[in-house]
Structure 1
């Protein structure tokens, strides 16, 4: 729009303040505005009116697998655009980094309640990666929620002062400073929460600002906050609040002090959303869902892995999952160096009795680690790009006196290195170390250029002179301070360095800390994160046992995230589907107190119904699936023990088809990659295991379900059924070549091969009946779907499928195992048995389209 048009539009709005709309239009025409421009002005005003109404009243659209009121930022927003400007100033590219952050934060906000709802108490969980930008994500979520009307923002920032202060500083920089008139603060950079005299000053109707409060998960602090909010109850009825729990698995779950206080704070807020953020969600996923607690009953979301992030799998590789070719699973980069078992007792006391008077030895591996750190820092100075800080982490014990015992030998080593810079023997040793390491991990693998020893040698004196030995623990006054110029530091510490706090420019880690649980182990891995400009240089020294544990943990993470993705792609919620966590013989999943409500689970399709609802719309992909389905029908005609034809119902059933006919079809049919449960390799492997271990699934019933009133589709000259209508969700996916139909298979279709009246059976009743009469028989259902599939007029949130060819949908129903399922891996999960849920009704509509 031009400035002239904008001026006329403002004139029209001013006229509306004094006259009815019709009179305002007449007066605009009297000013000489053309009818065409008047019409454009009226249309713009109508659009703005609708947009305002949408902000005032909750509404829902479908996004992914959920209804939502929030579909993304708007032009009038202030907080989110300010963050975008800051990130651009820091060198973030608009695509893909800012776009990915925008998409992921919109996903989280879309799962919150509309702030205008009279009351709500949401509980959600966001799962990120260690050191992957979770703080930036929840800051973006807060900004977008503020732009839509959320008022109070409480951030629970870990249990240490360092992380709370770091979080407060980030939020002030990214939220408050760009829009100071929009924010009030209950906490400061140095001060945790202290009660304020007048709650009305913050929550009264005259105060339109958003209120920010960043607190530690400390009982004394939270108690003060809870009491103050109780006193402010009269002002909180109309105060939509968002509680962000950073490191949500730490101190929040199964604690006698912190957990009740968080719940108490939520009870003071009639409109509140609690969202936990963590990279190690094991404890949160095992909370008793039936208790009044913080189980993420409303949503669990995976944050996407950011580009360039070093995660567990990148560094350590992982084991192949069921159905995967082990040769196709990455082994990780050659960045892990072994600490022999004999060295461990030299750097960590063997027993508690050995702590007093413990003196660590500079073993060969520790010496190599420290010297490599100096070399890597010098090489980074030659490159002159990326993070200006360089840090080494030494983590061998949780005991502070053990940390402090490293000060003298490391300082002595540093001083000796400074004196040896002209010693040819010392320089030859450094040269050999550098050549060996740069040969094992080449710079070219990461798009970098190798720095030669001769190039970095001139930088070594400056590196050694600026290097500091820091004891960062709860008993020391030393702290890693990255705010006053470039830092070169060897940091020795424990819990203060093991969670949440970012170690800037971390290049080398020396790690022998013994741990007993997944979450502790994962959070100790401070080496995860971004290594821009030096991705080829990080190294980790640890025992082989620890490396194996991390490799196992990478496998656990992959499976866990696969389960979580089901919430976004399948008709499941955290109250109907429990995420499974693979166990380990030597490690607990989390602390024993946090697992008391967990139950044993297994990786299995047993008793499940699997269906396709994502499809590609390109012709080649669809023709391949049509060919696979045609071959399946042809083979079923030849091999079935009995064939039932019900053309008037649009049904064909081929009974007792051999399993190899089904597995051949699964190998030829392409499932969409957005459906993690529909993994053909996993399904085939599961079928083979069931056959081998229990003799089950040797025979299958193959059914075709069509729409009697649809246009005819021929699988074979003798097998013809009407095409089903399955309209896509409007805006259900950002990929134009991907269609989401949400639901393919009706409840009654899971009983298509069962005799008698099954129309009144619940889904559980159908599975119980199948266990009685078809205990070892699987069911595969084919659905021919019309490529146009125009929605009925009543389906406002649907759009035509508009595929290039007709679509073949597939449903699979697996019998529950009778003799134990065919799984090797053991898992635990939350116990959902105490929940009372209404059965979802998959009613088949008259025109053949599911709701």
Structure 2
């Protein structure tokens, strides 16, 4: 293992800054993750290219890891650093600000700024301290980047390219169209990768579903290694809200309410027209934020709290909710300041009292209600209602200056943006075919928010909350199979309810094993002089366990051993590696045994209807009946010994393996070309 300088100037500076921000332990974890990545990075000037994946968590500090990895690589001889961001201007600005602050002594520039610099100065900086380029993944910015690099001498320059939100933009959206050229941005990223001979291209995302299913090829985007980010101390993830503590934090919103908000007229601004769930969410926010202000446990500059409304991508709906929110604040202010003149005071107080009672359940030492109300009355003028969408008048980024901040938006809220001190989320994006990556990226309530957890709520329709719970299970399993079972090219997912990602970035070669599905290879090895030893081996393993047609429990390791021993000539939809990996995971997480049965002395031939190129039906009607009676909730391995005497065989016995996946388990998705 190479020696990595971990106490260089850039790392030391950033580590000190980061420790002050998130604590020494968390900062050390960031450094260790970056060291793990750098252990895979090509040696300086080695003309080697490596593609890796940083599998993070939603709002878990992936940008800190990117910056620490840049600092570490710079201290170890790398000179060129490109950080690719979403097309979202807000996200680019956020990334630039963080990198510029973290990487002292290095030149950090956005692509629209680089042309303003003196060329000779840039050349000198590139050869000495190094350059960090923040580039949006749009065709214009990428073209500027490629043009800039083409004018540099990169012969002895080693590069780190960090592709943030790598699954969102950059994968080939034309790959399902036979003969079609790569999509524009994908081609630009390929061109970028070709420009530097020594490089680490690091994909960064918390939702790698599409990346894991990419083709393994030189021009592909399938990673050669995966580094998993574990949750640090104080991190609250989707499991916190939707599994472990759902009763404390999740509040149901009727789906009809979301539709009602979409139908409301823009001039319907009476506070009593605000639907019950939204009114409850707004009230929970102002009470929760007032509680935190009253407790006064942090510096004044951090006393800026956020409410998030994300129910639609449509700007008209954002405008309606903004008007309703402003009406809520106006009527709230009047009810607090001039109660005798407020016609809506009783209506408002009902919701404020209900919100306080709700927070009492999770905040054991909540201040008394009159004190909370006074803080709200004294501070509510410090508020802002911010719309984040693609409209020209929309704010370009999140810069909170008020104590009570109401953020309303759509797709701009979907990826990467960190929303500080988010106390209440009102969520209701409804789609016909939900996608894992999109839903996970909408979980802006995640992050290092443990200090505010007692006053944090998520208002959401029940069926969408159920989807988030399902995604929790998928993400936990996915991390487990990669980290503990070295299964890096397979997704375990309930695909009946969820798609892994948008269809146009999923290769045509992706297949799936579904719950309850029975699989067998098209043609096992059957040749005389090749298969006899294997047949004898399987005989010894199987025949003494039980009689033919008698289901029995068998150790998982025995089945894995047999499956690995049986050679195959034509696999068809059977992938021994995927099935064996699944069995290893099943053993670790479910049970050490599965069901097994076998049959001998069958006389199966090649199927004439399939051109005599593969086996037809393997199980006889009587065997099918027995299989149907075996517990379907547990995996079933079946071994059928064929006599090999029919036309096309070689006159010797050989075993055919079959496997039935259990019902009520995950679908298993994988790229057939990668296995």
- What TM-score does the superposition give when structure 2 sets the normalisation length? 0.75
The answer (yes or no) to whether the contact 1:373–1:507 under 8 Å persists in 2 is yes
Q: Post-superposition shift, 1:238?
A: 0.9
The answer (yes or no) to whether the contact 2:553–2:596 under 8 Å persists in 1 is no
Change (3 A) 1:434 1:102: same
Q: Post-superposition shift, 1:88?
A: 2.5
User: Does 2:359 match 1:438?
Assistant: yes
Q: Post-superposition shift, 1:439?
A: 4.2
* Aligned residue number for residue 498 of structure 1: 414
| Secondary structure in structure 2 of the residue aligned to 1:499 | coil
The answer (yes or no) to whether the contact 1:192–1:221 under 8 Å persists in 2 is no
Q: Determine which of 335, 347, 367 is the counterpart of 1:451.
A: 367
Change (3 A) 1:371 1:88: same
Farther off after superposition, 356-365 or 103-112:
356-365
* Aligned residue number for residue 614 of structure 2: none
* Aligned residue number for residue 363 of structure 1: 275
* Aligned residue number for residue 204 of structure 2: 277
Q: What pairs up with 1:438-517 in 2 under 5 angstroms?
A: 438-440=359-361, 442-444=362-364, 449-479=365-395, 485-515=401-431, 516-517=434-435
Q: What pairs up with 1:423-822 in 2 under 5 angstroms?
A: 423=339, 425=346, 428-430=349-351, 432-440=353-361, 442-444=362-364, 449-479=365-395, 485-515=401-431, 516-566=434-484, 570=486, 574=488, 578-602=489-513, 656-657=544-545, 660=553, 662=555, 677=585, 679-684=587-592, 686-687=594-595, 692-693=631-632, 697=637, 773=654, 775=656, 816-817=657-658, 820-822=660-662
User: Partners of 2:116 and 2:419 in 1: how far apart?
Assistant: 33
User: Partners of 1:478 and 1:696 in 2: how far apart?
Assistant: 57
Q: What pairs up with 1:165-184 in 2 under 5 angstroms?
A: 165-176=93-104, 180=105, 183-184=106-107
User: Partners of 1:832 and 1:141 in 2: how far apart?
Assistant: 33
User: Does 2:66 match 1:157?
Assistant: no
* Aligned residue number for residue 798 of structure 1: none
User: Does 2:261 match 1:347?
Assistant: yes
User: Does 2:24 match 1:101?
Assistant: no
Q: Post-superposition shift, 1:403?
A: 1.0
Larger Rg: 1
The answer (yes or no) to whether the contact 1:125–1:276 under 8 Å persists in 2 is yes
User: Partners of 2:102 and 2:635 in 1: how far apart?
Assistant: 61
Change (3 A) 1:299 1:695: closer
Change (3 A) 1:99 1:676: farther
Gaps of 5+ in 1: 1-60, 62-68, 318-329, 609-643, 645-651, 667-674, 700-768, 776-815, 836-851
Q: Determine which of 241, 250, 254 is the counterpart of 1:336.
A: 250
User: Partners of 1:112 and 1:481 in 2: how far apart?
Assistant: 33
Change (3 A) 1:130 1:434: same
Change (3 A) 1:662 1:155: closer
Deviations 1:469-500 (A, max 9, x none): 22222214343866574442111111222211
Change (3 A) 1:665 1:276: closer
Q: Determine which of 310, 330, 334 is the counterpart of 2:236.
A: 310
User: Does 2:326 match 1:411?
Assistant: yes
User: Partners of 1:206 and 1:500 in 2: how far apart?
Assistant: 28
Q: Post-superposition shift, 1:358?
A: 9.1
User: Partners of 1:695 and 1:289 in 2: how far apart?
Assistant: 30
The answer (yes or no) to whether the contact 1:193–1:215 under 8 Å persists in 2 is no
* Aligned residue number for residue 42 of structure 2: 113
RCO higher in 1 or 2 (8 Å CA, sep ≥ 6)?
Answer: 2
Q: Post-superposition shift, 1:603?
A: 7.8
Change (3 A) 1:485 1:821: closer
User: Partners of 2:282 and 2:291 in 1: how far apart?
Assistant: 14
Change (3 A) 1:370 1:205: closer
User: Partners of 1:824 and 1:686 in 2: how far apart?
Assistant: 15
User: Partners of 1:142 and 1:206 in 2: how far apart?
Assistant: 14
Change (3 A) 1:116 1:411: same
Deviations 1:78-123 (A, max 9, x none): 1111111102222x3323x223222222111112212241x12211
User: Does 2:167 match 1:252?
Assistant: no
Root-mean-square deviation (CA), in Å? Answer: 3.6
